Amino acid sequence: MFLGKYGAIAGGLAIVACWPFATGQIAQSMYEREVDQRSTAEFTLEQQTYDRGYLSSQAVTHLSFQGETKAMLAQSGLPVSYEIASEISHGVFGVSSSNTLVMTPELQAITQKAWPGNPTPVRLELDTLMTGASDYHLTVAPFSLSEASSNLTASELSLQGEIDRKGHVNATFSLPALAFNDDSGQQLKVDSVSGSGSGYLQDGLWIGEQSLSLEQAHFSDVSGQSLKLGDVKLEIGNKLITSESTSTRELNNTNQLTVGTIALPNNTQWRNLVVALDANHLDYSAMSQIALLSSQWQEGSAPVSMEAFDQALVQLLQSGLSIDLSPASLTVPEGDISVDMHVDVKGSEPTGVFNLQQLVNQVSGDLDVSVPNGVLTQSPWQAKVQDLTKAGFVTQTDKNTVLSAKIEGNQIITSDGSAVPLVQFVMFMLM
C-alpha cells in the first residue's frame, strides 16, 4: 500500500518532469502542421529552422504574400516576403509562442522611419491547442511617419481572435486614433476605429460577417473646407446557401452603411444616413470565378482572359439574382429622404452568350422614392417633377414628393398603368 501510494506519486512526478520533452515533440509536429495548413491563396508559409528544447523551442518561418496583398505591398514599396522568429513554450494542453519579424537591413530601413529605436514594432502572441485551434493577439506599436511635407501618426493597433484548424476565424481589432496632415493644409483625423469579423475564406470569397465602425472622422482640404462624420458603421455579410434538392450553391450578400451625423462645409447637418444594399441568389461558381480572375488581374501574375471574365458574368446573370436597396434614407433639415428599390433578374437557359435584350426582358422590380418638397423647390429637379407628375410617376403631398413605379422588362409602369420605355426614363432622369 505504502509503496503503491508513493510509487504512484513518483510516477506522476516523472510524467510531469518528462511532459515538457513530450510536448516539445508535439509542439514541433503542431508547428509543422500549422505551417502546412495555414497557407492560403494570399500567403504561403515555409519552415526555415526549428530548434527543439526541453521547456521551449525556437523556430524561423518564411512568409510570402501572394495575390492582391502581394500587389498592394509591391505597389507601396514594401517587401512581399518576411521571416518570423518564434519563441515557443511547451504546455500541457498546447503551446504558446511569441512571434516577431526578423529585422533584415531592408526592413530596418523602412521601420526606423516610423519606429525609431523600436526593434520589434510588430508582435504576435499565439496559443495553439492540440486540437489545432489557435488564439492570437497581434499588436503594431504606435508610430509617427514624416516624409517630405506630410505626416502620418497612429496609436497602437490591436488585432486579436481565434482560428480553428479548418480556417474559421473570429477576430476583433481596434485603433484608437489615426491622423494625417500636410503643409498644404489637408488634414484627416479619425478617432476610435474598431471592427470585427467571423467566417472563413473559400474559393477566394469571404463567407461570414465583417463590421467596421468609427466614432468620428474629420476631413479638411487646402481651402479650409471641412467635412465631419460621426458614428459611422459598415457591415458586410456573405452567406453560402446550398440546395440539397438541386445540388446548387448560391451566395447572399448584405451590405449596410450607417452614419449618425454628417456636418457639411456650409454648416448644414444631415443625420441618420442608412444605405442597405443586398444582392441575393448569386450563382456561387460564377462569383468564385469572378473573384479568382479579379485576384489574378490585381496581382498581375498571369494574363487575365476578358473572355473568361465575360463568361462568368453571363453565367451570373443567366442564373438569376435579386437586388434590394432598402432602406436608403437620410434626414436633412427639410425632412426625410427615402429610397426603396427591388430588382429581380429572372434566370434563363444558359447560352454562354450575352444578349442585352434578353437580359432586359428578364428584369422586373419596384421603385419608390420620397423627397421633402423643400429640397426640390430651389432645385433643377423642379421642372422634371412637373413632367413626371404629368406622366403619372409622381404625386405630391403637403410635405413630400413621391415617385412610384414598377419595372417590367424594357418598360417602366406608372401607378395608373401607363408605360414608358425604360431606357427613355433612365435618360430623362440622368439628363
Which among 149, 144, 92 is positioned nearest to 116, based on CA atoms? 144
Question: Which of 126-130, 151-155, 266-270, 360-364 is the least confident region?
Answer: 126-130
Q: What pLDDT does residue 23 have? A: 40
Could you tell me if residue 49 is inside a domain?
Answer: yes
Flag the least confident range among 46-50, 302-306, 334-338, 367-371: 302-306
The residue-averaged pLDDT of 371-389 equals 85
108 Cβ partners below 8 Å, 6+ apart? none
Portion of the chain with pLDDT greater than 90, in percent: 40
In whole numbers, what is the pLDDT of the chain averaged over residues? Answer: 83
What is the arithmetic mean of pLDDT over 84-96?
Answer: 73
Residue that is written with C-alpha cell 419596384 in the block: 366
pLDDT surpasses 90 at 264: yes
Total domain count, the chain? 1
Quick count: other Cβ atoms within 10 Å of Cβ 77? 7
Read off the pLDDT of residues 156-191 as tens digits, 9 standing for 90 and up: 999 999 988 788 899 999 999 999 999 888 999 999
At residue 362, φ and ψ (nearest 5 deg) are -90, -5
The answer to the question of residue 258 being in a domain is: no
In this model, does residue 322 exceed pLDDT 50?
yes
Range in 15-24, 72-81, 330-339 the model is least confident about:
15-24
Residue 321's pLDDT band (boundaries 50, 70, 90)?
Answer: very high
**Least confidently predicted of 14-18, 87-91, 97-101:** 14-18
The values of phi and psi at residue 102, to 5°, are -75, 120
* Higher pLDDT, residue 91 or 139: 139
Looking at the domain assignment, is residue 382 inside a domain?
A: no
Name the residue among 262, 205, 197, 198 with its Cα closest to residue 228: 262
Tell me which residue range forms the domain holding 95.
Answer: 1-172
The answer to whether position 100 is within a domain reads yes
Where residue 373 falls among pLDDT bands split at 50, 70, 90? very high
Quickly state the pLDDT bin for 291 (edges 50, 70, 90): confident
Residue 71 is assigned to a structural domain of this protein:
yes
Residue 232 within any structural domain of the chain: no
Does residue 431 sit within a domain?
no
The answer to whether residue 400 sits within a structural domain is no
Residue, of 291 and 413, whose pLDDT is higher: 413
